[in-house]
A and B are shown apart, each in its own frame.
Chain A
Amino acid sequence: MASKKTNENEVTPENSNSRRDFIKKSGLFTALALTPSTLVVASENKWDEKIAEYLETVPLSIEVNGKKHNLNIEPRTTLLDLLREQLQLTGTKKGCDHGQCGACTVHVNGTRILSCLSLATMQQNAQVTTIEGLSKGKKLHPMQEAFIKNDGFQCGYCTPGQIMSGIACIKEGHANSREEIKEYMSGNICRCGAYHNIVDAITEVKEGGKEL
């Protein structure tokens, strides 16, 4: 690299090491003041693995619905699980956890994506909007109102994903006909079968012309 500027996450030969090396370097041993005999016990009980796992979190700065969060998370945490289990934002739903249903759709930097296939750590400094971020108190977003009026749901479980996707569908310019809406909403499965009414709701919002 030309610049000497270092980034703790940047790849260098020094930091691409194994887990145990990582522990040794971490300074944790001094912090815990482990005696050699403790280390033997730790090894036998695989405590070093446990310590390693505890250490292997990474900092994440992320903005969700306008609120900034500075967190330490495991790299394997998905954005979906971060939202639901750590930030208690359970409006975003887990339907399949494998990118096959669309229930977990959120907006990241204004684009609809599947939060179940997104590692949270890769959303550093991102602006995330979830269903909870649409309404202002009792004042609903036009798409939320249209879903209620057109009965675009039954059980309500796919609904947050449908609404996030529906808003994006219009913003992307893919709501010019029922046929186009149907195609661009096909990544959101509704097992109750509310598709007809979902298309009605999106059509109504699109024709209403409000800024979304």
Chain B
Amino acid sequence: MKNFQIIKALSSSSAVASITKDTSVMFIAGGTNLVDLMKKNVVAPDKLIDINALDLKKIEFLNGKVSIGALAKNSQVAEDQSIKEKLPLLALALAAGASQQIRHMATVGGNMLQRTRCPYFYNTDMPCNKRVPKSGCGAIGGTNRMAAVFGTSDSCIAVHPSDMCVALAALDATVLVEGPKGKRQINFTDFHRLPGNTPEKDNTLEIRELITSIEIPDNNFTKNVHYLKVRDRSSYAFALVSVAVALELKNNVISNAKLAMGGVAHKPWRLTETEDFLKGKTASEDIFKQAGKLGMKGARGYGDNDFKLTLGANAITEALTIAASK
């Protein structure tokens, strides 16, 4: 690892001011992904701005919404009693990620900004357009068991690895950011982006912008929710496919449905068409199977990950079934 300067920011405005236009200055919060990437020489900042002293750790239940500070730890949110009651889907998704030690370190903002786990991105001896633009995509035509099946491009088939973000995408969250031009809000589903020809950009955050919090509008998804994570071992593994489901059921009729998937795209993959299909339907095995099939419409495999087409459909069905039976 290259040596670097590290500076503690005492206010978000000074943190933002210290980021220069080039990418050699970066924020650091929990560091669980950044330190790893620095050790692998995937990123090599000259300077880190330690933002942990900023007052961005609070979980607040405000009028009509829940606000979670960007520096709240993953475990803090997952185990917050009120979050468990009001946003159980978020708590479930957070608890499914990483290990407890990492959840104690990782922040909400950092979770959103974690980079892909695509092995070609991590191995600096390999081609990867995300790491080195125009170097080629190793995963296409290579070993791509983890790769995306939606929204891919010829440049990149990497997936976003977060569990938390899948739940936040389903729950219509908003991202609050602060930058040199002031504050702005980004819809969660617009925060991460598809790779296109610029896979080096994971999200729509602009340089010098800092995530300060996320907000989740109040909802009635307190009972019929499920986060289904399918992975290669029982715990401490990234998702092959995950599904976040939130349903509102009245007499077994689906009055509202939110669905998003992880492990299938460069961003948390919201299934709005499937949500629309489900609304007004009576919950049944058959409907959930149809939803599974619909949810995977347009998916495309790259060889090793072809199984995700079947798995994705089955996982949607399974997650809906479990959520509806709660």
Question: Is A in direct contact with B (CB under 8 Å) within the complex?
Answer: yes
**Which residues of A line the B interface, CB within 8 A?**
1, 7, 9-13, 15-16, 19, 22, 53, 56, 58, 74-76, 78, 97-99, 102, 105, 111-114, 117-119, 121-122, 165, 168-169, 172, 174, 182-184, 186-189
- Cβ B15 vs Cβ A11 within 8 A: yes
B residues within 8 A CB of A168?
100
Known: A10-B7, A74-B3, A184-B100. A118 touches B35 (CB 8 A): yes
Known: A11-B18, A187-B100. A76 touches B4 (CB 8 A): yes
Q: Which of B44-52, B153-161, B242-250 contacts A (4 or more CB under 8 A)?
A: B44-52
- Cβ A105 vs Cβ B49 within 8 A: no
Contact of A187 among B4, B28, B46, B99 (CB under 8 A): B99
User: Closest CB of chain A to B272's CB: distance in Å?
Assistant: 32
B residues within 8 A CB of A118?
31, 35, 105
- Cβ A102 vs Cβ B31 within 8 A: no
User: Closest CB of chain B to A16's CB: distance in Å?
Assistant: 6
Contact of A7 among B10, B25, B100, B235 (CB under 8 A): B10
Count of inter-chain pairs, beta carbons less than 8 A: 109
Q: How far is the CA of A16 from the CA of B45 in the complex (A)?
A: 13
Q: How far is the CA of A115 from the CA of B61 in the complex (A)?
A: 33
Closest chain B residue to A172 by CB distance? Answer: B100
Known: A7-B10, A74-B3, A76-B1. A187 touches B31 (CB 8 A): no
Produce 1/0 per residue, B70-87, CB < 8 A to A. Answer: 000000000100000000
- Cβ A119 vs Cβ B14 within 8 A: no
Q: How far is the CA of A74 from the CA of B4 in the complex (A)?
A: 8
- Cβ A122 vs Cβ B50 within 8 A: yes
With A11-B15, A102-B101 given, name 19 new contacts (CB 8 A).
A10-B7, A10-B8, A11-B14, A56-B3, A56-B5, A76-B1, A99-B102, A112-B101, A117-B31, A117-B32, A117-B105, A119-B28, A122-B31, A122-B50, A169-B100, A184-B100, A186-B236, A187-B99, A187-B236
